[in-house]
Each structure stands twice: as structure tokens, then as C-alpha cells.
Chains A and B, each alone.
Chain A
Amino acid sequence: MILDSLHSAFLLLVSWDAEMIEIVAVSLRVSCASTLVAALVGVPSGVVIALNRFPGKRLCLTVLNTLLALPTVVIGLLVYSFISRRGVFGPLELLYTQKAIIIGQVILIIPVVTTLTIAAISRIDRRYRRTALTLGATSVQMGWVILKEARFGVMAAVIAAFGRVIAEVGISMMLGGNAKGFTRTMTTAMALEYDKGEFVLAIALGAILLTFAFSINLMFHFLQGRIRGDDV
């Protein structure tokens, strides 16, 4: 079965199957959008939390770490109850759209980006901070310097978050509804093929997902390599 699946995956990729392309496009678009939004929120929050001392910081970290364990089904239900027609945001017509999936996924990975950013920043030598401060940097300037220093760790945080959303199925299924041509992603398509008993096609889609995830990570890897090369 595995060999059949790999063969089918290869055929789908080589023939550039229109339906497959659409599914892959939906997946990539949704995952890129939610990663981008989560990074815009999560990275600055991570920097602020890591660099400042404030009452309740420990509690805040504990809460963030707990949120890492939030099941996708819980997020799905929570968002569903808000954007269902009967919910507070019902009139916005969000349910069963790509936007709905993005909202759910952003909630899923903001804790991932934030905690990993905090970890990356905390690893940076304290002397950088002091030096920056003695040179008269404002807190924003200092944050920027530290962030630049911690960029590999932060990049890793964003990549981890991207991996989490592109592999996620619960939120996409509940909020997107697996509507063909609209909200069918690679993972919900796999779940459907499994439901239909088409295991070969399901695994083939899995192989394609890994291929795309691999190429995107490879791209990030080269980007990182280039940046590092410039500096040395």
C-alpha cells in the first residue's frame, strides 16, 4: 500500500493535477496567512515579556505554556460558538470560510510563537542589553537589537508554528468544513479519503504535504544560511 501511495503521489505531482493544486494552494495560503499574523502578534509579545520584569510574569509564562497544550477541537468549538450565525460575530459570515480557519489557527500558534520567542531572547547574553542601555538606547531600540541577535531562535519559532498549522486538521475541519474548492486543505482532504476508504490516495496526499513542507523548510534553511554567511 505504501509503495502504491508513493507512486500515486509521484503521479499527482508530475501531472500537476488541477484539484490537487487547488488543495495545496488553499493549505499554503491559509497556513502562510495564519503564521504571518501569529508572528506579527507573537514575536513582539515574546520580546516584551522576555525583556521586562513585571508582577505576574511567572503566571503569564505558566499560562502561555499551558496554552501550548490547547487541543485544536477546543479552539474549533470556541471559535465556532462566536462565528456561528447564532454567535456574537455571526453577521460577519465567517463560518466555513478560509478566514475562519485562519482565526482558529492564529489562536493555536500565538502561544507557540510567543513562548519560543521568549526562550530565544532569554538565551541572549545579558551584556548585550546592558551595553545597549549604556549607549543610550530607548527600550524600543534595545528590543530591536536583542531581536536581531536572537533572529535564528525567532525564525525557528515561526517555522515551528508554520509546521503546526499546515499539519493541523481539527480546526480546518470544524471551521472550514472541508468544502471542495473553498476550504479543502491537504489534511481535511486526507481525512475525507480515509473516510471514503481510499487509503492509497490519503497517504499519497500525506506524502505531498511532506514534500511541500520540506521544500519550504529548505527555503528557510537557505535564507538563514545566507544571513549567517553575511555576518561572518
Chain B
Amino acid sequence: MRVTLWAALAGLIMMTSVAVTAAADEVITMSTTTSTQASGLLDILLPQFTEASGIEVKVVAKGTGAAIRDGMDGNVDVIFVHAREREEQFVAEGYGTKRYAVMHNDFVIVGPADDPAGVRGSGDVQEAMKRIADHSALFVSRGDDSGTHTKEQQIWRLSGVPTEEVGTEIVKGGTPVTLSFVVPADSEGWYRSIGQGMGKVLTFADEMGAYTLTDRGTFIKYKYGIDPPISLEIVNEGAPELANPYGVIPVNPEKFPHVKYDQADTFARWLVSEQAQQLIGSYRLEGKQLFFPDAIAQ
């Protein structure tokens, strides 16, 4: 009995070690945003890429800020994110070799069905944000330095609502720097910054009956793809300011000689290839198109 149990225990450990070591020869690491993973798009794309190239992609999903950070520290071989200006800066500063425009979707403003701030019919997005602020209606912010959070701060600035910067002073490389975020002024009563991923922000806003800014993909997933669904509805959409482009950038081997640049670049090029672009364009969740390919004409 005792021997059998010890053998079972040893067998268990052995089995687990064997199960895990069976992986592809070539593996690259990619930091990406939670939206590409949570939407299910990567589950469609990556197996096809591995089949086409023999390269396996190890995915670490975080907010865009953290994903770019991973690239700047050389912790990953490639990043796949959505914050265009920051991506261009990433390339300009030499951390990445080239930004490939892969696809886009758009942001929408969602809120409770009874729309207490009367945002529906507000027309442009500036007016929508103004109405939320004027009514001091509850608004939930990602507050996590993600692509969506970057976009939200841009829109508050554009809206003409008085804003203020809240910052924390820290020391980097011996010099003091301020990490700051833009929030609407005097908004303690109605602005909630929760520092979570998109999904959690949507369920949080739903529970609180609040407004929030979300990418359309994640919203569709939460509105039609889960049970029970959230009851939030789109109250403003379509403005050019709400475009949400995704780019893929291999990390620069001149900065970090250890990165697997060739494989990372193969992956980036594959994402803008005919095959991948068609997969992106034909991906449907609950019958709705989530992403629109940018590299080929549809």
C-alpha cells in the first residue's frame, strides 16, 4: 500500500513533467493587450501561424502600457498593442524596428439603458463626455495605463470638460519624475478609476449603473457572448476620435541582441499577410465582426 502510493506520487510528478516539456522547437514571446486574447481572436490566428511557420507564440496578455514596458525592457520578442502614438514613439526611440498596421475596431461609450445623463443623441463624442460630466453621472475608468485608458484621457482633454492631472512623484534613475493621469476636475463624486482590465470594468460599470469607454470587441463579447449578459447599451459611437487601431512591432535586436528578431518579424509579416488578414476579417463573435483588417482591401 505504502509503496503503491509513493509510486503513484512519483508517477504523477513524472507525468506532469513530461506533459509540459512537449512544445515546439521555436518559441517567441509576445506581450499583447487583453482585448486580443479575451475576444478569442488569438485562438483563431496563432494555431494557423504555428502551422504555417513552425513557430509557436507564447502570449502574455496585459494592458497596453505594461505590454510596451515589456518591449522596452527586452522581456519579449514582439508586442501587439493599440495605442498608436505610443507605438510610434516606441519605434522612434529605437525599441522596435517597425510598426505594422494590422487591424482596427473602434471605441464606444456605453451606459445604463435608461441613460440618466441623456447621452444618446449627443452627436459627437465631446458633447457626450460633457453631458456625463454635467450630470455628474457615474463614470468608470480603466485607470491602468492601457490603450483604452490612453484614449479616454485624450477624449476628456478634447471634450472641453475642465480636467486636472493627478500624479505620484517617484524617482527614476536618480531624478524625480511624476507619473500623472488626466481626470475630469472635481470628479471625486462620480469618477471611479478601478485599475482593472476591460472585462472587469464592464461588469463593474454594469453593477453600478455607470458609463464607461470600451472597445467594441470586448463590449460585444460581454453583451452577447456571456450568460448572464451585461445590460449596458451603446450611447455614443462613430466619431473619428474613437478609432482604435492595432499594431504589431518586433523588438529591435540592435537594442536587445537576445531577442528572436527573425521569428518575431516573420510573425509580424504574417499578421499583415493575405491569409491572416482574411482570418481577422472573417472572425465573428455572436455573428458580429469584431476587427477590420488594415493591411488589405476588404
Contacts and interface: CB of A to CB of B under 8 A. Distances in A.
Interface in A210-225: 219, 222-223
A223 B20 contact: no
B23 interface: yes
Interface string B125-165: 00000000000000000000000000000000000000000
A179 B6 CA distance: 31
Contacts of B6: 223
B34 interface: yes
Contacts of A197: 199, 202-203, 221-222, 225-226, 230
Contact of A96 (B2, B8, B9, B75): B75
B59 A196 contact: no
Contact of B73 (A22, A26, A86, A195): A86
A222 B8 CA distance: 12
Contacts of A95: 75
A180 interface: yes
Interface string B81-125: 000000000000000000000000000000000000000000000
B60 interface: yes
Contacts of A219: 5, 8-9
A179 B13 CA distance: 21
Contacts of B19: 21-22, 25, 29
B181 interface: no
Interface string B246-258: 0000000000101
A177 B8 contact: no
B184 interface: no
B75 to A, nearest CB: 5
A91 B75 CA distance: 10
A144 interface: no
Interface string A192-220: 10111110100000000000000000010
A98 interface: yes
Q: How large is the interface on A (under 10, 10 to 19, 20 to 34, 35 or more residues)?
A: 20 to 34
A58 interface: no
Contacts of B256: 85
Given A85-B75, A96-B60, A226 B23 contact: no
Interface string A85-98: 11000110101101
B199 A96 contact: no
A84 B76 CA distance: 10
A182 B17 contact: no
A32 B29 contact: no
A90 B23 CA distance: 23
B279 interface: no
Interface in B1-59: 1-2, 5-6, 8-9, 12-13, 15-17, 19-20, 23, 27, 29, 34, 37-38, 56, 58-59
Contacts of A196: 38, 199, 221, 226
Given A93-B258, A182-B23, A195-B199, A85 B12 contact: no
B281 interface: no
A219 B74 CA distance: 44
B74 A29 contact: no
A198 B203 CA distance: 11
Interface string A18-49: 00011001101100100000000000000000
B43 to A, nearest CB: 9
Pairs A-B, 4 closest by C-beta atoms? A177-B60, A85-B74, A29-B16, A25-B19
Interface of A: 21-22, 25-26, 28-29, 32, 84-86, 90-91, 93, 95-96, 98, 177-182, 192, 194-198, 200, 219, 222-223, 226-227
27 contacts: A21-B19, A22-B19, A22-B20, A25-B16, A26-B16, A28-B12, A28-B13, A29-B19, A32-B13, A32-B16, A84-B75, A85-B258, A86-B73, A90-B74, A93-B258, A96-B60, A96-B75, A178-B61, A179-B58, A181-B23, A182-B23, A192-B38, A195-B38, A195-B197, A197-B222, A197-B230, A219-B9
Given A93-B258, A177-B60, A182-B23, 17 more contacts: A21-B19, A25-B16, A29-B17, A29-B20, A32-B13, A91-B258, A96-B29, A178-B60, A181-B56, A195-B34, A196-B221, A197-B202, A197-B222, A197-B225, A219-B9, A222-B1, A226-B5
